[in-house]
Structure 1
Amino acid sequence: MAVQAIDLQVDDVPAATRMLSAAYGWRIVADDPNFGELDAGGLRVMLSREAMVPWGALDGLILHEYVEDVEASARRAVDAGAELLSGPLTTDWGTEAAYLRGPGGLIVDLCRDV
């Protein structure tokens, strides 16, 4: 078994779908007012306004996106609307990383091994 998808609650699904695609290059699979889906390199990122089960704000989840150029990738994400939280910096565990926040509180670590 493998985790193949995550679902994030966002207020504006179409805007979040477009922002995540522009920021990280994720391919849009579905885009309508109540549901968006992106292919993030084999992980499906689903965006919903509502869910069948009660849920609250996202907390404690970080997606790690490995890139060749952390600085350029972070700049593209910020230009698309992501909030730069930290970096680019060199971590204690041997990566160059930039941490960004986007729709639904999603945090993405743009990183590369150094």
Structure 2
Amino acid sequence: MKLGYVIVYVPQVAAALEFYRRAFGFDQAFLHESGDYGQLDTGETAVAFTSHALGASAVPVPYTALDPTAPPAGFELTLTTGTVDEDFTRAVDAGAQPLSEPHDEPWGQRVSYVRDPFGVLIGIASPM
């Protein structure tokens, strides 16, 4: 078994794809003609977005939508890069909420945190 997708439920799929393109440089891999599902070109594991409308009809139980004004949910997307400082600035310039400026951790990793406009907590970190 392997991790195939990480899917984030958002109000507007195209807006999410565009934000991640501007903020992190990810290309759009796919956007369904309905606009209810799209994927980024993120490597072996896809990061995808589904509209709340599609989520409500496809997920067999109700879920709680992310609220960008509430504390972040207890998970993060961690993006690894060799240019943490520059990528943190790019993300903030694209509309991400800065949470923690780039800094060095005791284990040797450089990290920072932002939050996307939809409420997702994102770590920007150097590879381990």
TM-score (norm 2): 0.78
C-alpha distance in structure 1 between counterparts of 2:4 and 2:11, whole Å: 23
Match for residue 2 of structure 2? 2
Runs (4+) of structure 1 exceeding 4 A deviation are none
Offset at residue 42 of structure 1 (A): 2.1
C-alpha distance in structure 2 between counterparts of 1:23 and 1:31, whole Å: 18
C-alpha distance in structure 2 between counterparts of 1:55 and 1:46, whole Å: 17
| Match runs of 1:17-96 below 5 Å | 17-32=17-32, 33-50=35-52, 51=55, 52-53=58-59, 54-58=62-66, 59-96=73-110
Match for residue 111 of structure 1? 125
For structure 1, the 5+ residue unaligned runs are none
C-alpha distance in structure 1 between counterparts of 2:117 and 2:95, whole Å: 9
Offset at residue 43 of structure 1 (A): 1.9
How many percent of aligned residue pairs carry the same amino acid?
31
* Higher fraction of strand: 1
For structure 2, the 5+ residue unaligned runs are 67-72
Larger radius of gyration: 2
Q: How many residues align?
A: 114
Please say if residues 38 and 48 of structure 2, whose CA atoms lie closer than 8 Å, have aligned partners that are also in contact.
yes
